[in-house]
Amino acid sequence: MDHALSINPYTGKTVASYERHNPKEVAAAIKKSHQQFQVWKNTSFQARKSHIANIATTLRSQKEQYALLMTEEMGKPISQAVAEIEKCAWLCDYYAENAEAQLQDIFVPTDAFSSYVRHEPLGVVLSIMPWNYPFWQVFRFAIPALMAGNVGLLKHASNVFGCALAIEACFRDAGLPEYCFKSLLIGSNQVEGVLQNPLVKAVTLTGSGPAGGAVAAAAGKQIKKSVLELGGSNAMIVMDDCDMEKTLDICVQARFQNTGQSCIAGKRLLLAQSIHDQFLERLVQKVKKLKAGDPTSKSTYIGPMARVDLAKELELQVQQTLALGAKLEIGGKRIDAFYEPTVVSGVTPEMPMFQEETFGPALCVTSFRHLDEAVSLSNHSRYGLGVSLFTRNIEQAMALVPRFEEGAVFVNELVKSDPRLPFGGIKESGYGRELSAQGIKEFVNVKTVYINQ
């Protein structure tokens, strides 16, 4: 039998073993999902809203259990895991209240007696999701897709299959009809076969660049819509007129929350030369105070990374960067899946920590002399997910917005997702948008209707 293991990265012990679905089971699930779509697409917004509101209630009532499951499967500190469940419930609230208005017919004056644009669901949509936010990444896709009248299939990361099944059970417990949302326990090698099934109409992926490229190619062969949310190497640009204490706290949170395992984490700290030494010294002191340890403890901020191999990869990136002349300010040590909160200064654009995405608790620091150099350094990346700019000069910040090659610009705040705003990137960070009105329209048929008497 083909099994996937869920291993607690803190204890090293096996949480559970899951038998993967075989091709016959997958084909049957797709067929049943398609059959359910024929019913679900004709349900009223009011009925959909009721189901999604029930999901939010279920999430809130069982948030401690869901949070603990995340902590066991991928090491997320428990307080951050609880916050993730609460954010999923907020997402449900948002789309329950706004989806109908976002998808209403849009009447357009033309030469016709009547002309308007309709938004109709596509059908069965496959989602391929990563382990770092095991609930949020899934809900970010599933809730708007369901509110639009689609049905969803989930191919989750194999180390969080427990979360995948818990999400499916949450939806069923909330009264969502069976096969409106179904978890497929499959490996990456089965994805192309799913996309070849004519009943599957589109795919969305959050993950690495290579995975996104492979899925986009497979979807392209079938002429199917795809949305990709891939890696990021967000810059945090700190001007010399910033509110230093506030900026320090935000930068530490932006880099080290979720043990640094986030595509939208601030990964490259760009400091104005005039405040470089002072800011760096205070930053190191704050990082030194971050509590690492048992992720089930509410006081823990840094847990283990999700897998030992990921910690080893980060360790290598840091070592290679130091070998090229950068300076280790704090951290740099690994014990199994634990990697110390790390700060590396004197990083230049040719070094691995600047060039590559660092997926873990390690921050690289680079100085700049003037604003144009800061913008250039920020854009010197194959990624384009987001950038943070810290300054008291809001007018200047607003003037800089068009110069950044990013999907988002945040001023005096870390880059984050919000149900009310579109989320996504450009360049090798992917294409398409999630969340907001833009996100719910990614998987609909925008149908023009033109009527003359």
Using CA atoms, how far residue 278 sits from 141, 248, 288, 328, in Å, is: 42, 11, 16, 16
Cα 272 to its chain centre, rounded Å, is: 29
Q: How many CB atoms are closer than 10 A to CB 190?
A: 18
- Amino acid (one-letter) located at 393: N
Catalytic annotation, pick one of 163, 170, 263, 364: 263
The two structure tokens encoding residue 31:
């067929």
Catalytic annotation, pick one of 229, 329, 356, 442: 229
Residues 6+ apart with CB under 8 A from 127: 138, 141, 142, 145, 152, 153, 154, 155, 203, 204, 205
Active-site annotation holds for 263: yes
- Please answer whether residues 265 and 254 qualify as being in contact, where contact means their C-beta atoms are separated by less than 8 angstroms: yes
Active-site annotation holds for 229: yes
The two structure tokens encoding residue 418:
């919000």
- Please answer whether residues 400 and 375 qualify as being in contact, where contact means their C-beta atoms are separated by less than 8 angstroms: yes
Catalytic residue numbers, as ranges: 229, 263
